[in-house]
Structure 1
Amino acid sequence: MPSEPDQRPSVMRQGLGVLAYAIRTEPGVFTGAVLASAVYGVMTVGSSWALGWATEHAVLPAFRTGRATQGTLAVAALLIVGVALVKALGVIGRRVLAGIMQYRMQARSRREVSRQYLRLPLAWHHRHPTGQLLSNASSDAEAAWAPLAPLPMAIGVVVMLVVAAGAILLVDPVLALVGFLVFPAIAALNFVYQRRLSPRMMRAQQLRAEVSEIAHESFDGALVVKTLGREDAEAARFQTRADALRDANITVGRIRGLFDPLLEALPTLGVLAVLLVGSLRLAGGDVTPGELIQVAYLFTLLAWPIRALGWVLAELPRSAAGWSRVRAVLTASGSMEYGTARLAGTGPATLEVRDLTYAHVPDTPVLAGVTFTVRPGRTLALVGPTGAGKSTLTQLMVRLIDPDRGQVLLDGTDLREAAQGEVSAAASLVPQQTFLFDDTVRGNLALGTRDPVPDERIWAALRLAQAEGFVSALPRGLDTRIGERGATLSGGQRQRLALARALVRTPRMLILDDATSSVDAQVESRILRGLREGSPESTVVVVAYRMATIALADEVVYLEHGRVVDRGTHDELLTRCRGYRDLVTAYEREEAERASLDAGEEVVA
């Protein structure tokens, strides 16, 4: 990976650093591509020599005598065809190997970025939009290695440039001097070209990421957009960035459209100058017709090395921009380190939360000093107003994030000391927002299990989640595809499938983060009662709001502002904790007040 410079490097230096890293990573493929390109370059110069020989020994004698010998024509044809065949082999080798190198580096970057996404903690992902992360792994990785396609050609044709220049000098130094005057002009034009193009290419790459980010956010929130009637607003938001990207690409195209013809024209002007001076020297007998044709043809070839170098230089700004965005992910701080401890117990687990403190933003704790214990096989209800830290606490209990201070212990083992995969094997979380894949019911429920899951176990989990009835009624039962995010199901059905997915794993600790909010109270009551009676191997922690649900729990922990305010049974907290009583009876009080108002209105009427 290119080393971190002490000062902010120029775009050229950044781009060359990216190329150097690619060459160190794939030295064999790069060397082969450059050698093939060098063969192409040498044979291209050789073609000028073959053309000059054919002109001198076959074409001109034929004009002078009116006939040509078969032997001379055969040799001329063999020279031209032979050089062309070797040159074609060089082109094939160069393009194939350059493509292999480019696509290998793109695949390598995508794998590294994906692994880094998996390694980085959930807290890091919370700070970065999904659209930006998709752009890092796709368009940024592609842009970073775009110069690798023309790079071997650019290096190989330098050989052609050197050989061609030497051949021209050997033929006629005067014509060489006339033709070489075009090189400083081309170099100056390329310098101005890169200075104008670089910032605009970087701007266009940044806008690509922004367009991707807005598109993903709009598609992901399609339901919210449509229910709020925000289609026009979202389209306008997308159009603003898309128009900016369009304008940026047009600006890049205009600059290329201005400079490309000039870069093409300068070598042509050099050829015209060589032909003009060469015709005078030909009239004076200083050069032969074959030599003049050879020199003029060589100068037409010299445009290619200049253009090939220009292609690489033109891609460097985009490459530097793409790599800087990829590298920002690869060097991101934060990781989820694992220990070696095994959570190999059987039956319901003991959960201990000790002095737990966590803050999404420094100095603004979401949880502070939270402590409680859940004995094996018991059901604990976490209750608290919005913003009390309940969902954050559930994520800490399955180690999606690590606490700033304190411990979460499962059977006496700190989750941070557990080996990778141990926590997910022992504990299951059913979050507030249900996610189902565009797969069959069976595929979604068996997701992540280490061994094949028999249908009997799947149906048992569905019965416990009160989902057996509607799954049986699906056209193909367990083999029915449920669409992206479970689009063919209702919200309550999706939640019940998510719960069944957790139950299939037979977790020793089951955590429900308001996971039954989309089902009616009767179904929710049956689910929780079934968990208590039909799933004795699990300790259950449930985030709940409904009084009927909370009443089924063995114990209740009441949170306010990230702290444990009280703990006890539902009846005990109703008696002694005013905040708890006000929260869990709010719905009933509202219904009673509404009924009282309705009754008063009827009396008045």
Structure 2
Amino acid sequence: MARRRDAVVRRGFRHIGRAITEQPGMFTLAVLASSLYGAMTVASAWVIGEVTDRVLLPSFADGVTTASALALASAAIIGVALLKIVGILGRRLFAGIMSYRLQADYRRRVTRQYLRLPLSWHQRHPTGQLLSNANSDVEASWFFVAPLPFACGAIVMIAITVVALFLIDPLIALVGLVVFPLVFAVNVVYSQVMSPRMQRAQQLRAEVSEIAHESFDAALVVKTLGREASETERFGARAEELRDGLVAVGRVRGLFDPLMEALPNLGTLAVLLIGAGRVADGSTDAGSLVSIAYLFMLLALPIRAIGWVLADLPRALAGFDRVTPVLDATGETPYGPDGAAAGTGGAAVDLTDVGFTFAGGERPTLSGITFDVAAGSTVAVVGPTGSGKSTLAGLLVRLVDPSDGSVVLDGVDLRRLREGEVSSQAAFVAQGTFLFDDSVRGNVTLDDPFSDDEVWAALRVAAADRFVADLPDGLDTRVGERGATLSGGQRQRLALARAVVRRPRLLVLDDATSAVDPSVEARILDALRSSDTPTTVVVVAYRQATISLADEVVWLEQGRVLARGTHQQLLADVPAYAALVRAYSQTEVAA
């Protein structure tokens, strides 16, 4: 137990050192301002003692005082008060800047890490947890920073106070200072008791966020299947756990805070009791006792400031323990030194003995995939559900890297291309279309500097120009969250236009036109094939109308390429292919 307590304390002080190291300038300014406040607070005790001895007591004894004495006393009190105000303003300003800079910096670090880590890592971590890491966990990690400079300045204040106390009356000072080891002991015990409770509370915050995000994301499923009650119950159960966790935290803090408040007051009471006797026997004077009592009253605030930091450390460690695994995560996508081949035409793609196995998977999703795609051609990838088509599409644009073999673009392995080269040469459109709550123009350009003419040209290729022209504000029409105001086919065509406007040399469509009428789909593919610089297109397809437009078809089954050729050749030579294509055709006719 003692070892565990020491570990919490050591980690807490290391975390404080980390904050100071990362923001030394703001911390120094905040501590200087806090030290000014502490020094002026101690000086105010001395001023009050002097005013008591030199102005108040003589005026009581003589029944009269002078205007100059009152003016001097007032000037001394006001001067000290003004300097205290400067210290308070500086302390709060610089401490706030330090705290918010640390939070902003670590949010940027976390989000940059999210961008670096591969898709497979994101698939293992719920979105709600990732949001919690970047928001509430980062905030909790540095919550203690706001009172930290005050606590450090309070140490200066305590040091000055202790010296002043011993100079005034060593015996009374010794009696009163017994409170300090008690405060330290209470804080150590508090950190030990609070740490596991704060870790649990932070975890529950993330889980509540995760459930809420999942429910909002699946609003259509929840509404259409009448799952409102069960989702409310699921969220409510976890929210109640969070409530109970926070209540447990509050109980511990409820015991700790009054004790921290009481200890300085007990010290002041002991000083008054003993000091009154020493004044009575002439060992000290009334002004010294007033100064000592006032100094002990002032010590309550710096002791509380230190207590605030120590009280927030368990929460900070709990938050930082949840942020650190993200920052330390490995597996980020490595990049090579090569640039992509220059050119405006379609790109040639070669896959050689490509295999892929998901992390923790017992059997490979893809194995021994070998085929090539000629520049400017259209290849359809066809296969039954679970054959690895979407995984193959992701490999072509390097959403994931192959476990074995290589994917080569114009003679260069994708893993050797510099960062940003793949996205500049290839575009990917998934079946599940995502649109931002933005205008049509914003969803197509994504803030890249494309002209309206280029946007309209891309919309024409995607067969989206007519319905966009009919929208109330044309390109400026907002489409709502996830494109809620548009049909499924319209969303898919906007997503396709978003890819086309970038003039990719390789366009990968993962069943990205499934919600579009076959005639419109034919127009889209024909426009891609008939441009002056035809794009290389790899399309995951089911419809016979789509497949028949391809120059070549690759038949994928159980993660392997079992056949390739034209649509007519595979219809004649591969019974499983013919059965699948005809089954989808019959379904479309029936629909």
Q: Return the TM-score normalized by structure 2.
A: 0.95
What residue is the counterpart of 2:288 in the other structure? Answer: 291
- The CA deviation string for residues 381-421 of structure 1, in whole angstroms up to 9 with x for no partner, is 10001111111111110112111111111221211222222
What residue is the counterpart of 1:598 in the other structure? Answer: none
Question: Is residue 2:403 matched to residue 1:408?
Answer: no
Give the Å deviation of 1:125. Answer: 1.2
Say which is worse superposed, 86-95 or 452-461, in terms of deviation. 452-461
What residue is the counterpart of 1:371 in the other structure? Answer: 370
The 8 Å contact of residues 358 and 403 in structure 1, kept in 2 or not, is answered as yes
Q: Give, as a single letter, the amino acid of the residue that structure 2 aligns with 1:430.
A: V
SS at match of 1:138: helix
SS at match of 1:33: helix
What residue is the counterpart of 1:321 in the other structure? Answer: 318
The 8 Å contact of residues 381 and 557 in structure 1, kept in 2 or not, is answered as yes
Which one of the candidate residues 473, 476, 484 is aligned to 2:473? 476
Give the Å deviation of 1:355. Answer: 0.9
Which one of the candidate residues 353, 357, 360 is aligned to 1:359? 357
Q: Give, as a single letter, the amino acid of the residue that structure 1 aligns with 2:190.
A: Y
Which one of the candidate residues 493, 496, 499 is aligned to 2:496? 499
Q: 1:448 to 1:95 in 2, by over 3 A?
A: closer
Question: Is residue 2:451 matched to residue 1:454?
Answer: yes
User: How do 1:155-166 residues align onto structure 2 when only pairs under 5 Å count?
Assistant: 155-166=152-163
Give the Å deviation of 1:535. Answer: 6.6
Distance 1:460 1:213 in 2: 40
What residue is the counterpart of 2:344 in the other structure? Answer: 346
User: How do 1:111-510 residues align onto structure 2 when only pairs under 5 Å count?
Assistant: 111-339=108-336, 340-361=338-359, 362-447=361-446, 449=448, 452-510=449-507
Q: 1:513 to 1:365 in 2, by over 3 A?
A: same
What residue is the counterpart of 1:514 in the other structure? Answer: 511
Distance 2:35 2:190 in 1: 27
Give the Å deviation of 1:589. Answer: 5.6
Q: 1:424 to 1:194 in 2, by over 3 A?
A: closer
Question: Is residue 2:91 matched to residue 1:94?
Answer: yes
User: Which ranges of structure 1 fall in alignment gaps of 5 or more residues?
Assistant: 1-6, 596-605
The 8 Å contact of residues 22 and 105 in structure 1, kept in 2 or not, is answered as yes
Distance 2:571 2:5 in 1: 62
Question: Is residue 2:64 matched to residue 1:70?
Answer: no
Distance 1:568 1:124 in 2: 36
Give the Å deviation of 1:14. Answer: 2.1
The 8 Å contact of residues 12 and 317 in structure 1, kept in 2 or not, is answered as no
RMSD: 2.0
Say which is worse superposed, 334-343 or 152-161, in terms of deviation. 334-343
Say which is worse superposed, 201-210 or 488-497, in terms of deviation. 201-210
The 8 Å contact of residues 370 and 563 in structure 1, kept in 2 or not, is answered as yes
Distance 2:364 2:14 in 1: 42
Distance 2:8 2:99 in 1: 20
The 8 Å contact of residues 510 and 539 in structure 1, kept in 2 or not, is answered as yes
What residue is the counterpart of 1:17 in the other structure? Answer: 14
User: How do 1:589-604 residues align onto structure 2 when only pairs under 5 Å count?
Assistant: none
Say which is worse superposed, 482-491 or 546-555, in terms of deviation. 546-555
- The CA deviation string for residues 408-461 of structure 1, in whole angstroms up to 9 with x for no partner, is 112212112222222212211111111111111112112264xx3233332222
The 8 Å contact of residues 390 and 543 in structure 1, kept in 2 or not, is answered as yes
Q: 1:397 to 1:264 in 2, by over 3 A?
A: same
The 8 Å contact of residues 343 and 422 in structure 1, kept in 2 or not, is answered as no
SS at match of 1:402: coil
What residue is the counterpart of 2:38 in the other structure? Answer: 41
The 8 Å contact of residues 345 and 534 in structure 2, kept in 1 or not, is answered as yes
The 8 Å contact of residues 384 and 580 in structure 1, kept in 2 or not, is answered as yes
Q: 1:145 to 1:422 in 2, by over 3 A?
A: same
Distance 1:70 1:547 in 2: 104
- The CA deviation string for residues 175-212 of structure 1, in whole angstroms up to 9 with x for no partner, is 22322233343333333333322221221112111111
What residue is the counterpart of 1:81 in the other structure? Answer: 78
The 8 Å contact of residues 95 and 149 in structure 1, kept in 2 or not, is answered as yes
SS at match of 1:142: helix
Give the Å deviation of 1:588. Answer: 4.7
Distance 1:343 1:122 in 2: 25
Distance 1:522 1:402 in 2: 35
Q: 1:380 to 1:8 in 2, by over 3 A?
A: farther
Q: 1:447 to 1:263 in 2, by over 3 A?
A: closer
Distance 1:375 1:544 in 2: 19
SS at match of 1:511: strand
Say which is worse superposed, 104-113 or 270-279, in terms of deviation. 270-279
What residue is the counterpart of 2:101 in the other structure? Answer: 104
The 8 Å contact of residues 48 and 298 in structure 1, kept in 2 or not, is answered as yes
Distance 1:191 1:462 in 2: 65
- The CA deviation string for residues 150-190 of structure 1, in whole angstroms up to 9 with x for no partner, is 11111111111122122112212222232223334333333
Distance 2:253 2:585 in 1: 71
Give the Å deviation of 1:512. Answer: 0.9
Say which is worse superposed, 13-22 or 134-143, in terms of deviation. 13-22
Which one of the candidate residues 51, 72, 92 is aligned to 1:54? 51
Q: Give, as a single letter, the amino acid of the residue that structure 2 aligns with 1:403.
A: P
Give the Å deviation of 1:591. Answer: 8.5
User: Which ranges of structure 2 fall in alignment gaps of 5 or more residues?
Assistant: none
Indicate the percent of aligned positions where both proteins have the same amino acid: 59
The 8 Å contact of residues 428 and 511 in structure 1, kept in 2 or not, is answered as yes
The 8 Å contact of residues 208 and 245 in structure 1, kept in 2 or not, is answered as yes
Give the Å deviation of 1:536. Answer: 4.9
Q: Give, as a single letter, the amino acid of the residue that structure 1 aligns with 2:348.
A: T
Distance 1:133 1:193 in 2: 30
Q: 1:192 to 1:346 in 2, by over 3 A?
A: closer
Distance 2:554 2:560 in 1: 10
SS at match of 1:347: coil
Q: Return the TM-score normalized by structure 1.
A: 0.93
Q: 1:414 to 1:591 in 2, by over 3 A?
A: closer
SS at match of 2:45: helix
Distance 2:378 2:309 in 1: 65
